């Protein structure tokens, strides 16, 4: 997993929807962003989390001291986080009694409590922890609204619970949306779009953004599936690019290939399992990549590289140019 920013103290990454931030309970919940990152950056430590179904920006520390300083920034609310979401209906019509501020922001206050009998569901309850979110309208259609959100506090599922509490759950939300709203999107329509903070070591202003193309009028249009790649299609594409031979390779679980070279160039597409590829350029600098089904990679003629395969091994289609 390649960071969108890295320095000697921290990493900024973009987590896809459906991937855990940290390992869960059980062998089927061990694949997560933190483990993928630590395979490349062993010193990386988690600082905050995103829900499994939420996509977007996530910050990791490189070392204990960086983790301590970054955690302090979160604890003292010195990290500005902004999200975008598509919600059902028109929340501006629900909160008519509240006048938005000069920048269009409205506020939702509601103490949040874990519903122990229905965990992990959280609810608004007088005994819950004080929680505040801000939101403002970006785009609206007849049935949905694209909004920007800012969590003032940081409770579990806070933005999802607050929008559901005023009658406007997020599309695709498996926990808080009724079935008809859940069915409107193949994923939770919540994305951590921006992070801003002062660098914990240098004081430099850091501001990162991972924009989406979401719209209230076509909220899940970006999820239109691309045609499934077949081996024959990959083969024909590779031959058209001048490759000579195309075949399928399968590697055993845990296989390791130390640094080596090939007397041919390679283009490959992973179709199953997971692997780590370390490539070394002419200056001697190495880069390690995590690859899983759907990812493609290339290796140049005589380029030094090493391979390591995951607990299920890996299969890929590979084209060679002799």
Which is it for the CA torsion 36, 174, 182, 164, positive or negative?
negative
Q: Which of 160, 194, 223 is the last residue of a domain?
A: 223
Across the strands, what pairs with 85?
A: 147, 190
The residue with tokens 């391979």 is 307
Instruction: Give me the number of domains the chain comprises.
Output: 2
Residue with structure tokens 């179904």? Answer: 53
Catalytic residue among 7, 28, 31, 51: 51
| Same domain membership, residue 242 and residue 174 | no
**Are residues 175 and 88 part of one domain?**
yes
pLDDT at position 292, please? 80
Identify whether residues 198 and 312 lie together within a single domain.
Answer: no
Spell out, as residue ranges, where the chain has pLDDT lower than 50: 222-227
Mark whether 71 and 143 lie in a shared domain. Answer: yes
pLDDT tens digits, 66-84: 999 999 999 999 999 999 9
What CATH number should be reported for the domain holding residue 102?
Answer: 3.30.2350.10
Specify the pairing of strand 55-62 against strand 190-198: parallel
Q: Looking at 223, 243, 262, which one is the last position of a domain?
A: 223
pLDDT of residue 304: 95
Which tokens go with 278?
């370390």
Same domain for 59 and 145, yes or no, is yes
Residues 215 and 237 in one domain: no
C-alpha distances in angstroms, 86 versus 51, 98, 187, 211? 16, 21, 11, 14
Provide the CATH number for the domain around residue 253: 2.60.120.10
Q: What is the spatial distance between Cα 262 and Cα 259, in angstroms, rounded to a whole number?
A: 11
Position 123 scores a pLDDT of 95
- Last-in-domain residue among 189, 223, 257: 223
**SS3 (DSSP) at 133:** strand
Looking at the structure, tell me whether residues 198 and 252 fall in a common domain.
Answer: no
Looking at the structure, tell me whether residues 209 and 161 fall in a common domain: yes
Question: Is the peptide bond between 36 and the residue preceding it cis, with omega within 30 degrees of 0?
Answer: no
What is the distance of C-alpha 218 from the center of its chain? 21
Cβ–Cβ under 8 Å, residues 17 and 55 = yes
pLDDT of residue 46: 97
Asked whether residue 15 falls in the same domain as residue 162, the answer is yes
Considering only CA atoms, give the Rg of the chain.
23
State yes or no: is 53 an active-site residue. Answer: no
Residues in Cβ contact with 156 at an 8 Å cutoff, skipping those fewer than 6 apart: 112, 114, 120, 122
Q: Which two tokens stand for residue 101?
A: 């501020």
Both 257 and 111 in one domain: the answer is no
- Determine if residue 281 is left, alpha or beta; phi over 0 gives left, psi from -120 to 50 gives alpha, anything else beta: beta
Do residues 276 and 215 share a domain?
no
Clarify whether residues 249 and 268 are in a common domain: yes
* Domain interval for residue 11: 5-223
């Amino acid at each position: 997993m390649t960071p969108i920013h890295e320095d000697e103290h921290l990493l900024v990454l973009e987590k896809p929807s459906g991937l855990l931030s940290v390992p869960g309970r059980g062998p089927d919940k061990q694949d997560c962003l933190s483990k993928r990152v630590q395979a490349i950056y062993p010193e990386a430590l988690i600082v905050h989390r995103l829900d499994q179904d939420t996509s977007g920006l996530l910050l990791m520390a490189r070392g204990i001291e960086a983790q301590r300083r970054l955690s302090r920034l979160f604890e003292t609310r010195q990290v500005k986080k902004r999200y975008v979401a598509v919600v059902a209906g028109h929340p501006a019509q629900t909160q008519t009694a509240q006048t938005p501020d000069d920048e269009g922001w409205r506020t939702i206050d509601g103490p949040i409590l874990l519903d122990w009998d229905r965990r992990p569901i959280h609810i608004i309850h007088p005994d819950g922890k004080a929680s505040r979110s801000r939101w403002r309208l970006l785009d609206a259609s007849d049935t949905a609204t694209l909004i920007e959100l800012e969590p003032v506090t940081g409770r579990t599922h806070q933005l999802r619970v607050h929008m559901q509490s005023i009658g406007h759950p997020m599309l695709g939300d498996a926990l808080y949306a009724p079935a008809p709203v859940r069915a409107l999107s193949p994923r939770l329509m919540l994305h951590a779009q921006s992070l801003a903070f002062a660098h914990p070591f240098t004081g430099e202003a850091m501001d990162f953004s991972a924009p989406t193309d979401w719209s209230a009028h076509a909220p899940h249009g970006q999820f239109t599936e691309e045609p499934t790649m077949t081996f024959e299609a990959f083969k024909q594409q590779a031959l058209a690019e001048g490759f000579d031979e195309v075949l399928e390779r399968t590697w055993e679980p845990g296989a390791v290939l130390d640094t080596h070279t090939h007397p041919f160039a390679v283009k490959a597409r992973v179709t199953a399992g997971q692997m780590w590829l370390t490539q070394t350029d002419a200056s001697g600098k190495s880069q390690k990549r995590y690859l899983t089904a759907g990812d493609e990679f290339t290796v140049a003629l005589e380029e030094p590289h090493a391979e390591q395969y995951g607990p299920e091994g890996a299969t890929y289609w590979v084209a060679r140019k002799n």
